[in-house]
Amino acid sequence: MGAHDNSADAARREGSHRSWSRAGTIPSLPVRAGDSDVPGGLPHPRRVLTVEGVRRSFSTGLWPRRRRIQVLRGADLTVDAGEVVGLVGENGSGKSTLMKVIVGALAAQAGTVAVAGAVGYCPQQPQLYPRLTCREHLDLFAAAYRLPRSLLTARTEELLEVLNFARYADTRADRLSGGTTAKLNLSLALLHDPELLLLDEPYAGFDWETYQTFWTLVEERRRSGVSVLIVSHFVADTERFDRIVRLGDGRTTSSTVRSTPSRETAPQATVPAVRGESGGAR
């Protein structure tokens, strides 16, 4: 668990309601009644996340043996409103790299990323301030998300209660157990009730009861139209997912697990995700 000086500022960029933006993303656009590409006027599901042809490599080793490793070789991914999608693959397959490209923590070297709506990001390695308490973290991120004070207290108490760590609300982050740290990490992504949740190994460290609570929270959000992308090196409960996307050799393949009801579609433009080497994300 390490501190990150830009955590709260990145949270604002990632999660502010309908204002989260970076090169490669756009805000969601309104849908007019009757808009549809389907014969008979039936609506498509609204596309919340589109990733096309993303490439990313890293340099490794020292000169003169320095070489580049291609981690992502044209990865594609889509997530619709109300979908729960699992992103799986072997350790080192590039799952976390792809997530970091989506949120802007890493620059893609080719390809495009488009996001519609506010985003909540739960990184694999929690980026917390060691000397701040759980409640202070929630206050800080609420300010970064521009969450109204009238909602902050209710949202904070709800998350502390539902995830069962209210007794640690005033405990510093550097004194938390691994499981409680994971609960706080997840809470920071859920706090502002985003349209898209990006969760990288979110239940690592959870006990069985918290694991079941996690899936209850996911299902509640799915029913309300929130989209959830969950990264894991394995998927135990495949029936909980609408689709499983497998990442291997830097490319993605998708398999359908269950069907979801059709929902309205929103127009979405795409811009290049290629940027400079620096990126900012919690």
pLDDT tens digits, 220-258? 999 999 999 999 877 777 889 999 999 888 888 877 776
pLDDT digits (tens, 9 = 90+) for 50-73: 999 998 988 876 777 777 788 898
Number of domains comprising the chain: 1
Question: What is the Cα–Cα distance from 109 to 141, expressed in whole angstroms?
Answer: 30
pTM for the model: 0.76
For 105, the domain range is: 7-256
Does residue 1 lie in a domain region? no
Q: What is the pLDDT of residue 170?
A: 98
For every residue of 121-173, DSSP letters joined together read EE-SS-B--TTSBHHHHHHHHHHHTT--HHHHHHHHHHHHHHTT-GGGTTSBG
Has residue 52 been placed in a domain? Answer: yes
pLDDT score at 213: 97
State residue 178's pLDDT score.
Answer: 95
Asked whether residue 268 is assigned to any structural domain, the reply reads: no
Handedness of CA 141, 145, 150, 155 (dihedral sign): negative
Q: Which two tokens stand for residue 82?
A: 């109300």
Say which residues have a Cβ less than 8 Å from residue 156's Cβ, sequence separation at least 6.
135, 138, 139, 142, 191
Contact of 27 with 116, CB cutoff 8 Å: yes
User: Encoding tokens for residue 109?
Assistant: 């070297």
CATH number of the domain that 51 lies in? Answer: 3.40.50.300
The answer to the question of residue 273 being in a domain is no
Confidence at 259, pLDDT banded by 50, 70, 90: low
